[in-house]
Amino acid sequence: MTAPSSGANGMGSQARLVHVGRSDGRFWTLEEINAHLAVKGSSKQIGEPISQEINQIPDDKIKSLLAQWKVVVATGLAETLAWPRDSQYQVNFPEGFCLRECTPRGAGAEKEVGMFGHPQGCTDEFVYKYPYEFIPHVLWLLSDSNEHKQCPCKPCHLATGRPLPRTFAEKMDEQIAAMGATTLAPKAPEAKAPKKKATATKKKATTVDDAGSKTVKDTAVAPAKPTKKSTVSRPPQATIPSAVVPAAPSAPADPPFVNKEPTMFRRGEMVWCQQVVGSGWRIGVIREIRPDSPSPYVVIGLGHSSLDIPDSERNLLQLRPFLAFSVPAISVPEIRDNDFNKVNWQGVLSNPQYSGEMIGLEASKLAALEIDGSWSTFNILKAGPKQPKNITMYGGVFLGAEMIRLGDPIRPKDKTRDTLLEITEISVTESTVQADPADPTSISTQYALAFRGIEYQAVLVDENGKIPGQPEGAIFAKDTAFRTLAAKAGGKRMKCVWQRKSYDTVWHERDVAGRSYASDELIHVTKGEEEVKKAHSTGVFQEASAFLNNRMQSAASRNYGRKVNRWATYSQAVNIVHQCPRVGPDITEDSEN
């Protein structure tokens, strides 16, 4: 924020201008606003943006309203931030925000104004109607936070799916209603105490009762008709119904993009699975996770459905992320350089020179390459007011081998970036392409996957230094905790934090290497527990990204694009009995029908 500077601006020479150096505002055109209001059926008449120069406004009423907004918002900032009281302040509205006249239609309607510019929309719920409603958002813009879910204003609550805080009046209405429903037994009148003593008792009660209980005490007797007996002085607690129990505050809802998936392996993911006999590894799919079992991961063997490969149970150290190893070359000519569904599997399986085990191994390689080059979405989200019709938002995606959800960190293919992206939006853009202009049947639909989010870099700062706004995902928290422990083991009086590099970044499918993991967890499964202990004691460790390949890194990789759902992606590579319609209880995928 720029320091307040002196300036008249038509409001007196002593006013100091407040410039807000950061903004998330979006300028909505009058056409956009009217289009959205028409859908909502609003009867308000919206005007053009009101100039912030008071002297340029001919209408005295609008001039007065603008002055009120500029002074009230600035005064709210000054009081909250403890600016000197010897000056008057006025604010220059943040870039993208503007006042507009929004007066109800009809003769004699009083002129009103509203603040437009919230990035989520321009309908009534995203318009600030009074100056005090806008103050919390400006304070958030002046803070270190970069996450709308931390802004306390009403439009940001709605935009991020958080429940609105109840007002004090609403809470009291509930308590009064509860008291009205409670039948109080009649009480015998008490002897009247001396006036002086009663005054002392009342004084004492005022000092120990908080405002809330005091109000409850007063309203508890309101429904009763006053009589002479009811005016007799009595101890304060005598008027509080014992049956009334204050309602427990509702638990705050999780931010919309903080998921509770395991940070290491997830259901539906393709992984490497250690064989029971020997030290070899095979490719499989996690069908089920049983947290209380010593071998919690139930893995489907990848191969061909006709081979009836049985499930196997594995513990954490018997699995590796798919991107931890490269897929070996396929040695069977009939399978190599082919699509899985185009292979003559019956012919290959009946060939006496190949054993069933060999075909299963080669089939798993081919299936793995195809799965790695595919993706499918789940948990479709409700469209926003300004969302184009050809763009759909989702809560998650199976990108190649991995499950990725809102709130997860993803890695860039470009190793020089040294950053992670916290996903706040997963979108699919649909477009049609006509390969041959003369052939109407050559039209095909294409889908482009993209991730929007906040880009972070892990940095070490002084252990007593200020921590900026941090991402809330468990993987982020685990990773900084490990890096802080390693830094202290190396003799540094520092801690690791996530430093924001970009607030609004878009990575396309081709830019993403894969999901990111907590460093110590990845080191544990790839290098063993001793390497983690070494990092804890010496502070020396290798970056987790060194243990993982990029998605579609193999020379044999091809882009197979979007699939209907996860099980359609597996196709005939798993036993038909495992073609489950859902990957998890909180995951809704498209149907093939």
Instruction: Calculate helix-pair angle for 168-180, 211-220, nearest 10 degrees.
Output: 40
Q: What is the mean pLDDT of each run of 10 residues along the chain (593 residues)?
A: 50 70 88 78 82 85 91 89 83 92 75 91 89 92 87 88 67 54 44 43 36 35 39 37 38 52 94 84 92 91 86 93 93 88 88 88 93 94 80 94 95 89 92 78 86 91 79 90 91 89 88 95 92 90 85 88 90 68 74 57
Domain spans of the chain? 2-159, 375-546
Output the pTM of the full model. Answer: 0.60
| Tens-place pLDDT, residues 177-236 | 655 554 444 444 444 444 444 444 333 333 333 333 333 333 333 333 444 444 433 433
Rounded CA gap, 403 and 287, in Å? 13
Residues 6 or more apart whose CB falls under 8 angstroms from that of 45 comprise 101, 102, 103, 104, 105
HSE, CB side, 13 Å, CA atoms: give it for residue 329.
Answer: 3
For the segment 162-192, what is each residue's pLDDT rounded down to a tens digit? 887 765 445 545 555 655 554 444 444 444 4
Q: Looking up tokens 């009281």, which residue turns up?
A: 85
Architecture field, domain 375-546: Roll (2.30)
Q: Cα-Cα-Cα-Cα dihedral of 63, 68, 70, 71, to 10°?
A: 130
Per DSSP, what are the bridge partners of residue 229?
Answer: none
How far apart, in whole angstroms, are the C-alpha atoms of residue 287 and residue 300?
6
- What is the C-alpha to C-alpha distance for residues 149 and 520, in angstroms, rounded to an integer? 29
Q: What 3-state DSSP class applies to 321?
A: strand
Three-state SS at 123: coil
CA 251 to chain centre: 17
Residue 413: exposed, middle, or buried by beta-carbon count in 10 A (0-12, 13-18, 19+)?
middle
Over the stretch 561-574, which tens digit does the pLDDT of each residue have? 999 999 889 888 88
Distance in angstroms (rounded) separating the CA atoms of residues 426 and 508: 10
Residue 187's pLDDT is what?
Answer: 44
